[in-house]
Amino acid sequence: MVKKIAAADLNSLLEGNNQFALIDVREAGEYNSTHIIDSSLIPRRHLESQMSAAVPVKGCHVVICDDDGRRAGLAAETLERMGYSNVSVLDGGINQWSTQDFPTEWGSNVISKVFGEKMEVVHHVPEIDATELHERIERGDKLVILDTRTPEEYQRFCIPGGRSVPGGELALRVTDITKDLAKDTTVIVNCAGRTRSIIGTRVLQRMGLTNIFGLKNGTSGWVLAGYELETGADRLDLPDPSPEGLAAAEAYADKLAAEDGVRYMDIPKLQAMLANREKEAAFFVDVRRVEEYETGHIPGFRWFPGGQVVQRSDDVLVVKNCPVVFACDQKARSTFIASWYRQFGFDEVYVVEGGTSAWSAAGLDLEKGMTEEAPYGLAQARERVRPLSPQDLQATSPQVTLFVDTSQDFARGHVPGARWAPRGWLEFHIGGLAPDKKASIAVTANDGTNATLAGATLMDLGYENVSVLEGGMAAWNRAGLAVETGLSGVMSPPTDMVLSGPDRNYADMMTYLRWETALGEQFAG
């Protein structure tokens, strides 16, 4: 039987120094609306694929929460099947937590956002608004616009003429980017909203660069000012840094380590920590670009690009009061990231001295490729649930077709006639969609993984005739079959998704940006 933890006891855990994880298993939209401060979001539908990396020690105390305890209870049962031996559910959920006047907050990745706004207020990080930037572009002023988001975000849309320099690469690359520019060239740093713009500009400010600005409100501010974004940009090239650029980056790393208290870890100590990682929780993070990670990384290190490590610290350090070790090829990029974590207030922050180069020099092998474990229970589910090709699904016309991924995925395209039944709610919604347990049910999703796990859940509930669309909607689309779009059959507004940047409507963009800006008011002198 799953244990329960009272709100007061959870509050004591949050105020203490013991290692534990507080995981909210609702969907992103629900979490964004309100959540317990310092909780980490892992939607219930992602537990099987994300928990092993998020909480690497199976004996760690894991507290699960949702709104009222129903989904959390089912999630806890999943974790216990996965081998987690100390799982508790918040009694009464966040509803009861709030009723007892314990604090909540709204938004996502709040730690980094508060810190970014603090940096702007305390250090007077310079910014430029969209209107002035647009005027400078129209005049033909000397500008270089550096987009610190991920390459994928950048390619979707960017400020016209901007080039991609993800935040974790910025300090390593900026010397080479600017060394041949005219002295009166202005450097602009942007992201989708505010945080990564501010943090990136603060990096350059702290390096001693002048004539730099963060773009106020990023691409969202650009759209709100009435300007068009560029789509499909391909200015992604990041050549290896020159000796001059590398020297500048490493000197900056030394400055950060001294000022921010970053500690370096040699290879023997790292080996000892890695050997004990199944008993004592620690996080090992490689902050380089994905192609570098795939070429060769230290075994046991997961990939998380540097800029996102800073933006999403609550997704990286799911276990509280836990050491984190960063690595790159030498020390520059990992030290940059570690310095931010020290500034966030994390205590046990380390950098692998010499990075992957030192590991190889010690005669140790690097691991190649992207190391990803198959979701827990997927192999067993595949043995139980009958797969259907897109052609077979179209031909059989099951009595009920379900789509179990997000409402946004459903709206983008689903099998005609499918009903949206999000996997996190499946046990609670299926009775209304398929009251007869002998009915033929086809489960669909973006790919086959979530659908297969959902199919196994239906069989556990007693449904006798369950099949799964093999390859998901990707396979259905490749087969050229008809697709239905929109929220057909969804009778109430979905609460599962959070749109970002210019994907929001104008009102939501303004509300979000005002919220971010207000986070810094507490630091105003």
| Domain containing residue 43 | 3-108
Which pLDDT score, from 0 to 100, does residue 306 have?
84
**Considering the chain, what is the average pLDDT of its residues?**
95
Residues 62 and 149 grouped into a single domain: no
Give the CA distances from residue 22 to residues 39, 278, 326, 348, in Å, rounded to whole numbers and listed in that order. 5, 19, 23, 19
CB 107 within 8 Å of CB 113: yes
- Judge whether 255 lies within some domain: no
Query: How many CB atoms neighbour CB 156 within 10 A?
Result: 18
Give the count of domains, the chain.
Answer: 4
Based on the fold, state whether residues 17 and 95 are members of the same structural domain.
yes
Let me know if residue 288 belongs to a domain. yes
Distance CA(395)–CA(357), nearest Å, equals 56
User: pLDDT-derived band of residue 60, with 50, 70 and 90 as boundaries?
Assistant: very high
pLDDT at 434: 96
Query: φ and ψ at 336, to 5 degrees?
Result: -55, -50
Of the pLDDT bands very low, low, confident and very high (cuts 50, 70, 90), residue 126 is very high
Residues 117 and 231 in one domain: yes
485 domain-assigned: no
Strands 127-128 and 163-164: unpaired
Give Cα 151 to chain centroid, integer Å: 14
From residue 237, give the alpha-carbon distance in Å to each of 163, 166, 173, 241, 435: 9, 11, 11, 12, 55
The answer to whether position 315 is within a domain reads: yes
Average pLDDT over residues 296-302: 96
Residues 55 and 144 in one domain: no
Q: How high is the pLDDT of residue 178?
A: 93
| pLDDT tens track for 462-480 | 999 999 999 999 999 999 9
Asked if 108 and 40 touch (Cβ cutoff 8 Å), the reply is: no
The 10s digit of each residue's pLDDT in 147-169 is 999 999 999 999 999 999 999 99
Query: Do 101 and 131 share a structural domain?
Result: no
Q: Which amino acid is at 70?
A: R
Question: For position 34, which CATH number holds?
Answer: 3.40.250.10
Q: Is residue 121 located within the same domain as residue 230?
A: yes
Alpha carbon distance 157, 500 (integer Å): 12
Name which residue leads in pLDDT, 132 or 501: 132
> Does 428 have pLDDT greater than 80?
yes
- Cα(417)–Cα(452) distance, rounded to whole angstroms? 19
Residue type (1 letter), 379? A
Residue 436 lies in a domain: yes
pLDDT confidence of residue 372: 77
**Residue ending a domain, choose from 92, 108, 124:** 108
pLDDT (0 to 100) of residue 500: 80
Give residue-wise pLDDT tens across range 318-334: 999 999 999 999 999 99
Say if 253 falls within a structural domain. Answer: no
Mark which of 235, 250, 275 sits at the end of a domain: 235
Percent of the chain with pLDDT over 70: 100
100 and 169 together in one domain: no
If you average pLDDT over residues 18-42, what whole number do you get?
A: 96
DSSP letter (8 states) at residue 45: G
Answer yes or no: do 146 and 75 share one domain. Answer: no
Q: What pLDDT score does 2 carry? A: 83
Q: Is pLDDT above 80 for 518?
A: yes
The confidence score (pLDDT) of residue 416 equals 97
pLDDT of 371 over the 80 cut: no
Question: Is 508 a domain residue?
Answer: no
Q: Closest by alpha carbon to 360, among 293, 306, 297? A: 297
pLDDT at 1: 73
Asked if the structure places residue 325 within a domain, the reply is yes
Domain final residue pick, 457, 478, 499: 478
